[in-house]
């Protein structure tokens, strides 16, 4: 990858008090790519993303974001980033439009404020004080503030928490439009359907290391995706993994209809859980 927007190599972070949050994380994100960072709470996702955003200093390793070390990122560097933080804490005494117009002014080449408000579906609420919005609507303001500066690289840390299904769909549409414009996106989410829908590649972080890394539909390698055929024989549940489930089912059916027959193709969620589950056991051990 010659045109990496984000380059992370052997990133380590030990907090004061000795907690090792990251124990050697490496990945790259190419220009225009949407990359998902998956993992359970406390696995190190937020620590990683906050190091990339320049909020935290790393203990060791190499980090480059837009060819800059985030610990030395200046204002011109920040102008090329869009950051949607995980938590929406504050509720300023400003209307949606005032808040966006104010933040747009910080950037050299901002988007049109009303277009951004429309893109997050808050046109009806443009003149409403942010304090009077619901949690999901405030989250949409966060997303709007993240994209108003026309960022080259957008960080989305659990952006759709608190969204209803309809809002999540329109958020996905918005992200696809940003992708079409060439925006590079780093996404963390607990919704694996969202990751599968939006990102081209992903890393699963568990216990401070990268447990799996690759194209989202190949994550975990071919082995993890081998279909499972499950049936009952003499009251015992039997399972077999096979590349040719049809042939196996045909063979089983020769002696009559198998009891409770299922063919299961592992979903991203199954693969995710297999990694997170085994890692969790390792950490506990």
Partner 1 sequence: MNLLRNGASRVGYEVRGYFRQGDTVFFTFLFPLLMLLIFSVAFSSATFGPPGAELTAAEFYLPGMLAAGLLLSGLQNMSIDIAMERSDGTLKRLGGTPLSPVSYFIGKIGQVLVTGILQSALLILVAVVAFGVEVPTDPGRWLTFAWVFLLGVTTCAILGIGLSALPRTGRSATAVVIPIVLVLQFISGVYIAFSGLPEWLRNVASAFPLKWLAQGMRAVFLPAEFEAVEPSGSWDLPLIALACGLWLVVGLIVVRVTFRWIRKDA
Residues forming the site for partner 1 (CB under 8 A): 15-16, 53-57, 75-76, 78-79, 81, 83, 85, 87-90, 92-94, 98, 102-103, 105-108, 129, 145, 149
**What is the separation of C-alpha 261 from the centre of its chain, rounded to a whole number of angstroms?**
35
The least distance separating partner 1 from the CB of residue 222, rounded to whole angstroms, comes to: 40
Residue number with CB closer to partner 1 (90 or 166): 90
* Side-chain-facing half-sphere of 189: CA atoms under 13 Å: 26
Residue number with CB closer to partner 1 (56 or 140): 56
Other Cβ atoms within 10 Å of 270 Cβ, number: 15
The least distance separating partner 1 from the CB of residue 87, rounded to whole angstroms, comes to: 6
The least distance separating partner 1 from the CB of residue 120, rounded to whole angstroms, comes to: 16
Dmax (CA) for the chain in angstroms is 74
> What is d(CA 153, CA 49) in angstroms, rounded to the nearest whole number?
12
Other Cβ atoms within 10 Å of 114 Cβ, number: 13
| Beta-sheet strands, E only, within the chain | 4-14, 20-30, 34-38, 60-65, 81-84, 153-157, 184-188, 201-206, 209-215, 228-233, 236-241, 259-264
Name the β-bridge partners of 83.
155
Do residues 196 and 268 make contact, with C-beta atoms less than 8 angstroms apart?
yes
Name the β-bridge partners of 205.
210
Residue number with CB closer to partner 1 (86 or 242): 86
Residue number with CB closer to partner 1 (15 or 269): 15
> What is d(CA 67, CA 77) in angstroms, rounded to the nearest whole number?
10
Residue linked to tokens 């990683």: 48
Do residues 25 and 212 make contact, with C-beta atoms less than 8 angstroms apart?
no
Residue number with CB closer to partner 1 (141 or 204): 141
The least distance separating partner 1 from the CB of residue 95, rounded to whole angstroms, comes to: 10
Residue number with CB closer to partner 1 (54 or 258): 54
Residue number with CB closer to partner 1 (143 or 202): 143
């Amino acid at each position: 990858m010659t045109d990496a927007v984000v380059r992370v190599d052997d990133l380590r972070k030990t907090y004061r008090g000795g907690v090792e949050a990251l124990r050697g994380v490496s990945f790259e994100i190419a220009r225009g790519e949407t990359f998902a960072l998956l993992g359970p709470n406390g696995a190190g996702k937020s620590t990683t993303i906050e190091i990339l955003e320049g909020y935290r200093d790393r203990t060791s390793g190499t980090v480059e974001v837009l060819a800059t070390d985030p610990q030395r990122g200046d204002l011109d560097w920040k102008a090329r980033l869009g950051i949607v933080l995980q938590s929406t804490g504050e509720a300023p005494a400003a209307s949606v439009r005032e808040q966006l117009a104010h933040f747009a002014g910080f950037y050299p080449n901002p988007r049109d404020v009303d277009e951004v408000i429309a893109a997050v579906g808050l046109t009806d609420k443009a003149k409403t004080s942010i304090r009077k919005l619901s949690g999901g609507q405030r989250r949409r303001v966060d997303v709007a503030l993240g994209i108003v500066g026309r960022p080259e690289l957008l960080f989305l840390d659990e952006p759709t928490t608190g969204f209803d299904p309809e809002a999540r769909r329109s958020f996905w549409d918005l992200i696809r439009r940003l992708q079409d414009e060439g925006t590079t996106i780093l996404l963390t989410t607990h919704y694996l359907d969202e990751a599968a829908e939006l990102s081209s590649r992903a890393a699963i972080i568990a216990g401070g290391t990268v447990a799996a890394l690759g194209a989202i539909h190949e994550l975990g390698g071919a082995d993890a995706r081998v279909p499972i055929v499950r049936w009952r024989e003499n009251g015992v549940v039997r399972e077999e993994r096979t590349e040719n489930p049809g042939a196996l089912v045909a063979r089983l059916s020769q002696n009559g209809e198998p009891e409770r027959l299922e063919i299961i193709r592992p979903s991203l969620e199954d693969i995710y859980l297999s990694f997170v589950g085994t890692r969790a056991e390792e950490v506990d051990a």
